[in-house]
Structure 1
Amino acid sequence: MFESRKSGILLHLSSIPSPFGIGDLGGDAYRFIETLASAKQTLWQILPLCPVDASGSPYQSTSAFGGEPLYISLDLLAQEGLLSKEEVEDAKQPNFPYTDYAAARELKIPFLQKAFQEFLCKSPPAEYNDFLEKNNYWIDDYAIFMAAKAYFMEQRQQESEGLCKFLKETQMFLPEEMGRAYYDSACWCSFPEDLRQRKLQALKEWRDILKEEIQWEYFLQYLFHKQWHQLKAFAHEKGIQIIGDVPIFVSYDSADVWANQEAFQLNSLGFPRVVAGVPPDYFSEKGQLWGNPLYQWKYHEQTSYQWWICRIKKALEDVDILRIDHFRGFESYWEIPFEAVDARSGKWVKGPGVKLFQKMEKALGELPFIAEDLGIITQEVRKLREKIGLPGMRILQFAFGDDKNNAYLPHSYDRNTVVYTGTHDNNTTIGWYQNATEKEQDHFRRYMNVTGESPNWDFIRLAFSSSAQVAIVPLQDVLGLGEEYRMNLPGTVKGNWSFTFQWEMWNEGCLEGLRYLSFLYGRNSG
């Protein structure tokens, strides 16, 4: 897949500086791409672009196909004439020090609604109708799902006894906190029965009732995809490919599950019977209880994996390369009872294995995938990855300690590898070094023959010099930032997904360091 040695930066779109609370598809994103090109990097890795949940996580989304509306650039809408340039300029704040999702919604949604009303006053351009026609296999279900959620959310905010009634009607034990979360979020499992079960007459009636709200959802997705593909084209002009991210699982409260209930392990009331997670590991002594519903793999096999083929086809239209999150789950996944309080009571269950990838390759051609093969990796998982021919991942932060032949140490790599100093789930490298044990620090210093004064650049040099065909570095490590700037702490809900860099953090030393190491270790031939 990678014909030459490459390197790049890991940074999510939300982390780009913004006067509206969240990074977007406007000028600063273009400036970031130009900066990457100036630093002689050829890869930009992002997290999923799909709608985020209430905490800002892109891994618990209402859609595996849609885009997050908050990423839409108001400046670009003003340039199109859908908004007033003066009003947009007046609304700008000083660049936020971190991603603030609540502030972003408060600032941006009223402008997006204004743009929508302006859009309705005109004849839709041909590209709008083309977009809807091309994406009708997912966007119709997504739009009515989001419109219905908003409708019932507004209704339920006015109800006082609704939660008790809902919990009684389910005739199923749910912890009060969980039940309240399902109800207060207007989860699809609390839709009226005929809509929950997607009866044809109900779908027709609700499409009429929610006609304008559905048009609103169409509009947002049209804007997001238009602006994203313009940015992607600019990246290609600068010689940069984009690495996207496909979570193996989808959120329970999503259009994906509501529209494809037979594809998931649900009970007669629509609740998951079992959910996803991982057993105790490096990140958590109790494991991680993700809560995503698990796939009904027999159904997917019987339908020739069409849902997966559609999902990957759409993803590869949006990015160039895909990191397949939790790859080991395709060989075996950790199945946890729905009522469990943590992940320790789960068990391993066999996944679809190579059959899924063979079907995808037959339908889509070569699969430009990176397998996220971290955690508890068995020989069976390794064989699956090797049979498909995918590069695996190695994390330098996992390399140091007791084992001198640790698989994460560069002298253990094969060429078909993508090496990271750390990922979005790791501490920054400076944070890692400051929190590492004395034994880990000593091993690190001796392995590289360094003092440990600049562990971030020591790691970048180690990654770039390795035999791995691709080296990826989180921007925090390039900028030399501490643990307060990490993106996510697995197993926690609050305080994540908020890292935002500032342009003043960059200096010529950062750019020159990347350029120098890229040339020195053959990761850029330009």
Structure 2
Amino acid sequence: MRRSGMLLPIASLPSKYGIGSFSKEAYEFIDMLESSGQSLWQILPLGPTGYGDSPYQSFSTFAGNPYFIDLDELVKEGLLTKEECNGYDWGSNDEYIDYEKIYLSRFKVLKKAYKRSEIYSNKRFMAYCNKNKWWLNDYALYMSIKDFFGGKSWVEWDVDIRLRKKEAIHEYEEKLSDDILFYKYLQYLFSMQWNRLKSYANRKGISIVGDIPIYVALDSADTWANPELFQLNKECVPIAVAGCPPDGFSKTGQLWGNPLYYWEYHKDTDYEWWIKRIEYSFKLYDILRIDHFRGFDEYYSIPYGENTAVNGSWEKGPGIELFKHIKEKLGNVEIIAEDLGFLTDSVRQLLSDTGYPGMKVLQFAFDSREDSDYLPHNYNNNCVVYTGTHDNNTTIGWYKEINKKDKKMCIDYMNNKNSRESEIHWDFICLAMRSVADTCIIPVQDYLGLGEEARINTPSTLGNNWTWRMKQNSISKKNIKKIKMLTKLYGR
């Protein structure tokens, strides 16, 4: 089945309060997807973000980001006033997310709603808490203790609570009971609003493509509450952490710092935690993209305390066994494997064995020095093609940066010598849309013809990432008509 969609993070939606949310603009975006003939909306991970603002470094793999809660909905419910919502500084740039201002404001206004909610007497809330207690209790306690210690990571907490001594757990549960209930309330709001939005999308024929990182953050409820899942010593200090080896992009590699899984434990428990994680993801999404898929075949292990990724080594991952367990327990769930980067024969074999579609990115295709698997004539139909991803420059921004030989290769390949650089994004969109790939997903910035200023993330850099927002009414009726025409023309 040929289909297409758009990539846009929730955070990048237009909104009144500094960051995209589950507000009317999200519903309008779904309406636009329907009007333009699309059937997919790909987003980035929905988890609560911390230092660096990356959705791939979350405080929980199960929790949702409170920033996405629609404040106007709370106004309608009488829990907030418009004056209160407008009384905070959310930033003055419609195309930029000022995370510092949002952090300083969002929790304050949500706390007001919580104080007025009398949520402890709400039967739906209590049912939600009971159903999700297997992760929610640890998460709410974790965030409350984290606040108590001034935002410090759990590895810097007092030793009794860092190591989860029973007496300490009980003490903090009593001492911080109101904060714990507040964090549970936020998750309840997130869940109610997200489920409503997803149901709306599904009724409109739009499937949600979610995204999970292979790893969880060290500074997370997952690691603190379940140290046995990870390569930690008796003091809960990491033995080794995740990253990528040196390559053409980075002479010292990438030091991500995520704790590595203790795969022997996962195997002994029939991958119970992983199955829970995937199962929960499919309650949030219709289709799931798993980031850094190659880590299931082999993962790069860097001794804890290293300043770079130079001294790491490749270790064997769980391989096909994990995915056999997932299929056995959950059936044929729809997963996209992020298989970008340098691939070994064993990674290709694992992808083939799972049957999952991999990813093809056109920006990786045009290197005049060599043939590439990312050129459309090398595709089979079981793949997902993108012009670029959240980690790439926009197509316009990328095209301006590449050398003359690579530009000539692009023009020759598309047989379009009359292309204007300002319109080149449409050539790449058409190239992706007419490829044999079953699924085609285009970042919204490429449909808008935006340049480098609209880039979402530059890997291995800190600062100014994850901050781009789409302006209100950016996608014109003329643009929607053209997207629909191309979608129909290429049978999607």
TM-score range, shorter chain: over 0.9
Look up the match of 2:263.
297
Q: Distance in 2 between matches of 1:13 and 1:99?
A: 12
Identity %: 47
Please tell me whether the aligned partners of residues 12 and 47 of structure 1 are also in contact (alpha carbons under 8 angstroms). yes
1:496 corresponds to 2:465: yes
Look up the match of 1:438.
404
Look up the match of 1:99.
97
1:271-317: per-residue Cα shift (whole Å, max 9, x none)? Answer: 21111111234543332111101000001111111111111111110
1:138-191: per-residue Cα shift (whole Å, max 9, x none)? Answer: 0000011100000011xxxxxxxxxxxxxxxxxxxxxxxxxxxxxxx4111122
Partner of residue 362 from structure 2, selected from 396, 401, 406: 396
Q: Distance in 1 between matches of 2:106 and 2:157?
A: 28
3-state SS, counterpart of residue 368 of structure 2: coil
3-state SS, counterpart of residue 439 of structure 1: helix
Please tell me whether the aligned partners of residues 17 and 95 of structure 1 are also in contact (alpha carbons under 8 angstroms). no
Q: Distance in 2 between matches of 1:86 and 1:262?
A: 48
2:199 partner letter? A
3-state SS, counterpart of residue 322 of structure 1: strand
Q: Distance in 2 between matches of 1:282 and 1:219?
A: 46
Look up the match of 1:161.
none
1:186 corresponds to 2:152: yes
Look up the match of 1:279.
245
Look up the match of 1:376.
342
* 91 and 252 in structure 1: CA distance in 2 versus 1, 3 angstrom threshold: closer
Look up the match of 1:179.
none
Partner of residue 70 from structure 2, selected from 70, 73, 77: 73
Partner of residue 40 from structure 2, selected from 36, 39, 43: 43
Please tell me whether the aligned partners of residues 397 and 422 of structure 1 are also in contact (alpha carbons under 8 angstroms). yes
Q: Distance in 2 between matches of 1:294 and 1:390?
A: 24
1:510 corresponds to 2:479: yes
1:80-106: per-residue Cα shift (whole Å, max 9, x none)? Answer: 222224543565876622111122233
1:83-94 to 2 correspondences below 5 Å: 83-88=80-85
Partner of residue 56 from structure 1, selected from 53, 56, 61: 53
Look up the match of 1:346.
312
Look up the match of 2:435.
466
2:180 partner letter? I
* 125 and 95 in structure 1: CA distance in 2 versus 1, 3 angstrom threshold: farther
Look up the match of 1:166.
none
Q: Distance in 2 between matches of 1:343 and 1:484?
A: 30
Partner of residue 272 from structure 2, selected from 306, 326, 335: 306
2:149 partner letter? F
3-state SS, counterpart of residue 55 of structure 1: coil
Please tell me whether the aligned partners of residues 324 and 372 of structure 1 are also in contact (alpha carbons under 8 angstroms). yes
Q: Distance in 2 between matches of 1:321 and 1:141?
A: 27
Partner of residue 106 from structure 2, selected from 87, 96, 108: 108
Please tell me whether the aligned partners of residues 241 and 302 of structure 2 are also in contact (alpha carbons under 8 angstroms). yes
Q: Distance in 2 between matches of 1:452 and 1:344?
A: 43
1:32 partner letter? F
Look up the match of 1:180.
none
Which stretches in structure 1 are left out of the alignment for 5+ residues? 154-184
* 35 and 283 in structure 1: CA distance in 2 versus 1, 3 angstrom threshold: farther
Please tell me whether the aligned partners of residues 120 and 126 of structure 2 are also in contact (alpha carbons under 8 angstroms). no
> Is 498-507 or 488-497 further displaced after alignment?
498-507
1:123 Cα deviation from its structure 2 partner = 5.5
Please tell me whether the aligned partners of residues 15 and 23 of structure 2 are also in contact (alpha carbons under 8 angstroms). no
Q: Distance in 2 between matches of 1:228 and 1:333?
A: 33
1:510 partner letter? N
Look up the match of 1:173.
none
1:195 corresponds to 2:161: yes
3-state SS, counterpart of residue 44 of structure 1: strand
1:226 corresponds to 2:176: no
Look up the match of 2:285.
319
Which stretches in structure 2 are left out of the alignment for 5+ residues? none
1:109 Cα deviation from its structure 2 partner = 2.1
1:265 corresponds to 2:231: yes
Size of the aligned set, in residue pairs, is: 488
Q: Distance in 1 between matches of 2:246 and 2:81?
A: 53
1:45-69: per-residue Cα shift (whole Å, max 9, x none)? Answer: 0000001122211111110000110
Look up the match of 2:413.
447
1:25 corresponds to 2:22: yes
1:103-182 to 2 correspondences below 5 Å: 103-120=101-118, 124-153=121-150
Could you state the TM-score of these two structures normalised by the residue count of structure 2? 0.96
Look up the match of 1:181.
none
3-state SS, counterpart of residue 277 of structure 2: helix
Please tell me whether the aligned partners of residues 69 and 221 of structure 1 are also in contact (alpha carbons under 8 angstroms). yes
Please tell me whether the aligned partners of residues 89 and 101 of structure 2 are also in contact (alpha carbons under 8 angstroms). no
> Is 262-271 or 325-334 further displaced after alignment?
262-271
Look up the match of 1:158.
none
Please tell me whether the aligned partners of residues 19 and 92 of structure 1 are also in contact (alpha carbons under 8 angstroms). no
1:404 Cα deviation from its structure 2 partner = 5.9
* 285 and 472 in structure 1: CA distance in 2 versus 1, 3 angstrom threshold: farther
* 6 and 124 in structure 1: CA distance in 2 versus 1, 3 angstrom threshold: farther
1:12 corresponds to 2:3: no
Could you state the TM-score of these two structures normalised by the residue count of structure 1? 0.90
Q: Distance in 1 between matches of 2:217 and 2:85?
A: 34
1:193 Cα deviation from its structure 2 partner = 1.8
1:504 Cα deviation from its structure 2 partner = 4.1
1:230-241 to 2 correspondences below 5 Å: 230-241=196-207
Please tell me whether the aligned partners of residues 415 and 469 of structure 1 are also in contact (alpha carbons under 8 angstroms). yes
Q: Distance in 2 between matches of 1:95 and 1:123?
A: 38
Q: Distance in 2 between matches of 1:131 and 1:480?
A: 43
Please tell me whether the aligned partners of residues 19 and 95 of structure 1 are also in contact (alpha carbons under 8 angstroms). no
Q: Distance in 2 between matches of 1:128 and 1:437?
A: 57
Please tell me whether the aligned partners of residues 334 and 349 of structure 1 are also in contact (alpha carbons under 8 angstroms). yes
Please tell me whether the aligned partners of residues 15 and 22 of structure 1 are also in contact (alpha carbons under 8 angstroms). yes
Please tell me whether the aligned partners of residues 46 and 244 of structure 1 are also in contact (alpha carbons under 8 angstroms). yes
3-state SS, counterpart of residue 288 of structure 2: strand
Q: Distance in 2 between matches of 1:92 and 1:26?
A: 18
Q: Distance in 2 between matches of 1:90 and 1:40?
A: 39
Please tell me whether the aligned partners of residues 281 and 375 of structure 1 are also in contact (alpha carbons under 8 angstroms). no
Q: Distance in 2 between matches of 1:316 and 1:95?
A: 35
Q: Distance in 2 between matches of 1:404 and 1:16?
A: 38
